[in-house]
Homo-oligomer: A and B are copies of this chain.
Amino acid sequence: MVNPPRGFLFNALSAGIKKKEDLDLGLIYTDQLATCAGVFTTNLVKAAPVILGSKRIKTGRARGVLVNSGCANACTGEEGLKDAEILLQTLAQELNCSADDILPASTGVIGERLPLEKILKNIPKLVQGLSQAKVDLVAQSMMTTDTFPKVVSRTVSFKGGEIRITGLAKGAGMIAPNMATMLAFILTDASLEAQYLQGLLAKVVSKTFNRITVDGDTSTNDTVYALASNKVALDQKVWELFETKFLEVCQELAYLIVKDGEGATKVVRIIVQGTHTEEKALVLARTVANSLLVKTAFFGEDPNWGRILAAMGRSGVDFDPNQVDLWFNQVQIVKNGLSLGKESEKKAHQVMKNKEFTLTIALKEGKAKATILTNDLSYDYVKINAEYRT
């Protein structure tokens, strides 16, 4: 049972947006104006809630987040924007706050309108049931192809106080390279200024949600909101610790998203090191992580390093193939671009039988490095995505 940050109330219900009677509408509400920040998809095609949310976030103040699954409200044009606005206005009336202070987020099928009547009918009930205890329900209401809700909490204790941080996320497929098809809400009761929170969120997202990839696609709806309810003054001495815990919450959520990647059977940490720049290491790691041939080899537990080198070779960055070393966990299988033989490959195969392992790719140019979390490509990925709308 999560002890959520003070000042936040939660509720979720089934409004009939999804075909089944699963939770599909969630609300996070603060008892007073909160500080807020947001990071959004870089996709040129932006869903209505992304368009509205990115405007709203500029004030730096919010009272809550309305989230739905089952319908992305993307590619719905002017009508979709109106739908979202009507929804927020109705909710704001019920909450007796300004509609501008509610941040919207949607996930689900693209190209379909929200079933507005169904949702509006449920708004009073959604508001009436708000309570501190229902954070897990909101996490459930965000799920699409997720197989489990994702909630992570951390506490920062200091003399005379305690700060809580709780993160909720959804995400499974389409997670790359910029937070694709994921929603995450990071809540804290620390007292923070909007400019600081925006800076922290942007920095942390670039190190966490932007370092994971499931299938290389990027969604129209990706949104990360951070809300601070300003209940606890942040002691200067624990400032650094707070940032670390905030990062940890996002790191763990990012990990859970990859772990729950559509059809994934393995989580693979890809480290590229020994480059001149981090940027270059990132490009290499991402290209390897998104290669279908590499991902199917992960699934097959085959240390097919040739595919890894081939993916690096098409990444567009320059490197010397004869200076590449490769490890699966501690087992080195390639030295200076050449195989270390069948025995080392057999050992690497054993490593790959684990549900989690690390692939380390070392160049010998410099001291920069980058890490990407990814997973394998299984039959089930195809099944889930072939049948998504049926």
Residues of chain A having any CB pair with chain B under 8 Å: 42-46, 72, 74-77, 109-112, 173-174, 180, 215-220, 291-293, 296-297, 299-300, 302, 304-307, 309-314, 318-319, 321-322, 334, 336-339, 377-379, 381-383, 385-390
Q: Do A312 and B382 touch (CB < 8 A)? A: no
Nearest B residue to A316 via CB reads B44
* Alpha-carbon separation in the docked complex, A318 to B390 (Å): 32
> A310 contacts B387, CB within 8 Å?
no
Q: A302 near B390 (CB under 8 angstroms)?
A: yes
The answer, among B111, B220, B311, for a CB contact under 8 Å with A313, is B220
Q: Give the number of copies in the complex.
A: 2
> Is the CB–CB distance between B339 and A112 below 8 Å?
yes
User: Cα distance A338–B390 when bound, in Å?
Assistant: 20
A-B CB contact pairs (8 Å), 13 listed: A44-B321, A72-B306, A75-B339, A77-B338, A109-B304, A111-B334, A111-B339, A215-B292, A217-B291, A220-B310, A299-B382, A378-B382, A379-B383
User: Given the complex, which residues of B lie within 8 Å of A300, measured CB to CB?
Assistant: 385-390
User: Min CB distance, A149 to chain B, in Å?
Assistant: 23
Could you tell me the dominant secondary structure of chain A's interface residues? loop
Q: How far is the CB of A339 from chain B (nearest CB, A)?
A: 5
The answer to whether B382 touches A382 (Cβ under 8 A) is yes
Hey, which chain B residues are within 8 Å of A220, CB to CB?
Answer: 306, 309-310, 313
Known: A339-B111, A382-B296. A318 touches B44 (CB 8 A): yes
- Indicate which residue in B111, B174, B215, B310 contacts A45 across the interface (CB closer than 8 Å): B310
Inter-chain contacts of A42 with B (CB < 8 A): 314
Q: Tell me the bound Cα distance from A383 to B218 in angstroms.
A: 25
Inter-subunit contact B386/A312 (CB<8 Å): no
Query: Which B residues are in CB contact (< 8 Å) with A337?
Result: 75, 77
Sample of 18 more A-B contacts, CB < 8 Å, known A292-B381, A292-B385, A381-B382 = A43-B314, A44-B319, A45-B321, A77-B338, A109-B304, A110-B309, A111-B339, A174-B310, A216-B291, A217-B291, A217-B310, A218-B314, A220-B310, A293-B385, A297-B385, A297-B388, A300-B388, A379-B382
Q: Enumerate the 10 nearest inter-chain pairs by beta-carbon distance, A residue then B residue, closest first.
A: A110-B306, A300-B386, A45-B313, A296-B385, A218-B314, A111-B306, A43-B313, A44-B313, A215-B292, A45-B321
**A284 CB to nearest chain B CB (Å):** 11
Do A310 and B110 touch (CB < 8 A)?
A: yes
A173-B293 in contact given A300-B385, A300-B388, A313-B218 (Cβ < 8 Å): yes
In the complex, which of the residues A111, A299, A302 has the most CB atoms of chain B within 10 Å of its own CB atom? A111
A44, B314: Cβ atoms closer than 8 Å: yes
Given A45-B310, A307-B110, A386 contacting B299 (CB threshold 8 A): yes
B residues near A318, Cβ cutoff 8 Å: 44
Complex alpha-carbon distance, A211 and B7, angstroms: 56
- B residues near A296, Cβ cutoff 8 Å: 381-382, 385-386
> Are B339 and A304 in contact, with the CB atoms below 8 A?
no
